[in-house]
C-alpha cells in the first residue's frame, strides 16, 4: 500500500520484475537456514499484490526482464553511489522500465580483456576448490559434506565460465560488438552481454571482494581507475608481516606493494 501511495502522489508508473520462478534451494543441499528464509519470503506474491492494487488505482505497471538486475546493480551502481546491492538492483529495474540500456563502464570492459586479471581469479578459484576438497576428505558429518559438495560444484561452474571466456578470447565485451538487425543475432547479442556481466561478477567476487557482496565499496577504485591489483592486495598477506607474498602474484609477474593502502577517489571522478 505504501508503494501505491507513493506512485499516486508522484503520478508515476511502477516498474517490477516479470518473475516466473524463484529458486529456493532443495533438501539436502546443506543450507537449511538459507532455505528456510527463502521459503518464508514470497517475493513473487508481493509483486502480484502490487499488480492487483495498481490496477485498482489506475496506476500503470511496467514488467521488465529480471535477468541480471541485481548483478548489474551491485557492480555498476552500488560502488558509485554508495548504496547497498538491493537498492542498486531496484535502480536497474526502474531504468529498464524507462527503456534505458545498461552499458559497461569503460574500465570494466578493459578488465574483460585483462588476461592477468582473469588468470589470477582462476588461480584463486582453483585454490579454493583444492581447500574444500581437503575439508571434504576430513569431514565425517554427512550434512556438512553435502554443504561442501554444493560449494565445490558451484566453484567448478564458476571456474568453467571464466576458463571458457578466457579460451574463447571473449575479451571484447558484448557492448563493443556490432548490432545486427536479425532477431536471432540480436538475441544472441543480448545473451552475450549478460554473459559478460556474469563473468565480471564472478571475477570481481573472488579477486576484489572475497565473495562478500555486502561491502561493495572496494569496487569504486576498480570502476574509476581499473586498479584491481591494489584492491586485491588488501585481501592477501602483506610483505614484512611475517608471511610470504602470494605465489600467484609471482606467477603472473605482478608487483605487490609493501602496504595494502586503499583510498577512495574523489567523487568528482564519477561525473
Q: What is the pLDDT of residue 42?
A: 72
Reading the block at residue 30, the C-alpha cell is: 546443506
Task: Tell me how far apart the alpha carbons of residues 92 and 199 are, in angstroms, rounded to a whole number.
Answer: 19
Q: What is the pLDDT of residue 40?
A: 62
Instruction: Give the residue among 21, 80, 29, 78 at the shortest CA–CA distance from 47.
Output: 21
Q: Which of 36-40, 50-54, 176-180, 219-223 has the lowest mean pLDDT?
A: 176-180
User: Are residues 202 and 121 in contact, defined by beta-carbon separation less than 8 angstroms?
Assistant: yes
Q: What is the pLDDT of residue 271?
A: 40
3 state SS of 15 = strand
3 state SS of 27 = coil
CA distances from residue 13 to 1, 9, 51, 55, 90 in whole angstroms, order as listed: 14, 11, 11, 11, 14
Q: pLDDT class for 15, splitting at 50, 70, 90?
A: very high
Q: pLDDT class for 258, splitting at 50, 70, 90?
A: very low
Cα–Cα–Cα angle for 25, 198, 182, rounded to 5 degrees: 115
Q: pLDDT class for 63, splitting at 50, 70, 90?
A: very high
Q: What is the pLDDT of residue 260?
A: 35
Question: How confident is the prediction for the chain on average, in pLDDT?
Answer: 77
Stretch (H or E) spanning 40: helix 32-40
Mean pLDDT, range 11-36, rounded to an integer: 75
Task: Tell me how far apart the alpha carbons of residues 118 and 129 are, in angstroms, rounded to a whole number.
Answer: 17
Q: What is the pLDDT of residue 56?
A: 93
Instruction: Give the residue among 264, 262, 226, 230 at the shortest CA–CA distance from 249.
Output: 230
Q: What is the pLDDT of residue 185?
A: 44
Q: What is the pLDDT of residue 165?
A: 92
Q: pLDDT class for 268, splitting at 50, 70, 90?
A: very low
**pLDDT per residue over 231-252, tens digit each?**
888 765 444 433 333 434 433 4
Task: Tell me how far apart the alpha carbons of residues 89 and 103 are, in angstroms, rounded to a whole number.
Answer: 15
Largest Cα–Cα distance in the chain? 67
Q: What is the pLDDT of residue 46?
A: 83
Reading the block at residue 40, the C-alpha cell is: 518464508
Q: What is the pLDDT of residue 253?
A: 46
**pLDDT per residue over 197-225, tens digit each?**
999 999 999 888 865 567 788 898 898 88
- Beta bridge partners of residue 61, listed in sequence order: 14
Q: Phi and psi for 62 in degrees, rounded to 5?
A: -110, 120
* C-alpha 19, offset from chain centre: 19
Q: Which of 29-33, 43-47, 55-59, 120-124 has the lowest mean pLDDT?
A: 29-33
Mean pLDDT, range 27-52, rounded to an integer: 73
Judge whether residue 99 has pLDDT over 60: yes
Residue with more model confidence, 56 or 47: 56
Task: Tell me how far apart the alpha carbons of residues 105 and 220 are, in angstroms, rounded to a whole number.
Answer: 11
What percent of the chain is predicted at pLDDT more than 70? 68
**pLDDT per residue over 137-175, tens digit each?**
999 988 889 889 989 999 999 999 999 998 886 444 334
Question: Residue 263 — left, alpha, or beta (φ > 0 → left; ψ -120 to 50 → alpha)?
Answer: beta
Q: pLDDT class for 13, splitting at 50, 70, 90?
A: very high
Amino acid at each position: 500500500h505504501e508503494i501505491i501511495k507513493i506512485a499516486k502522489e508522484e503520478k508515476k508508473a511502477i516498474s517490477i520484475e516479470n518473475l516466473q520462478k524463484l529458486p529456493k534451494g532443495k533438501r539436502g543441499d546443506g543450507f537449511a537456514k538459507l532455505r528456510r528464509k527463502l521459503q518464508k519470503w514470497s517475493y513473487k506474491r508481493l509483486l502480484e499484490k502490487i499488480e492487483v492494487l495498481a490496477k485498482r488505482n489506475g496506476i500503470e505497471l511496467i514488467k521488465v526482464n529480471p535477468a541480471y538486475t541485481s548483478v548489474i546493480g551491485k557492480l555498476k551502481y552500488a560502488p558509485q553511489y554508495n548504496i547497498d546491492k538491493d537498492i542498486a538492483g531496484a535502480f536497474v529495474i526502474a531504468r529498464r522500465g524507462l527503456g534505458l540500456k545498461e552499458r559497461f563502464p569503460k574500465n570494466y570492459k578493459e578488465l574483460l580483456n585483462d588476461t592477468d586479471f582473469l588468470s589470477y581469479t582462476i588461480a584463486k578459484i582453483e585454490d579454493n576448490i583444492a581447500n574444500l576438497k581437503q575439508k571434504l576428505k576430513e569431514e565425517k558429518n554427512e550434512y556438512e559434506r553435502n554443504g561442501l559438495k554444493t560449494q565445490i560444484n558451484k566453484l567448478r561452474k564458476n571456474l568453467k565460465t571464466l576458463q571458457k571466456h578466457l579460451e574463447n578470447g571473449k575479451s571484447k565485451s558484448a557492448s563493443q560488438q556490432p548490432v545486427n538487425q536479425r532477431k536471432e543475432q540480436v538475441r544472441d547479442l543480448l545473451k552475450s552481454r549478460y554473459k559478460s556481466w556474469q563473468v565480471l561478477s564472478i571475477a570481481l567476487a573472488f579477486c576484489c571482494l572475497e565473495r562478500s557482496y555486502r561491502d561493495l565499496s572496494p569496487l569504486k577504485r576498480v570502476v574509476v581507475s581499473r586498479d584491481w591489483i591494489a584492491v586485491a592486495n588488501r585481501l592477501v598477506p602483506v610483505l614484512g608481516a611475517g608471511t610470504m607474498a602470494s605465489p600467484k602474484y609471482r606467477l603472473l609477474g605482478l608487483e605487490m606493494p609493501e602496504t595494502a593502502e586503499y583510498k577512495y577517489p574523489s567523487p568528482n571522478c564519477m561525473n
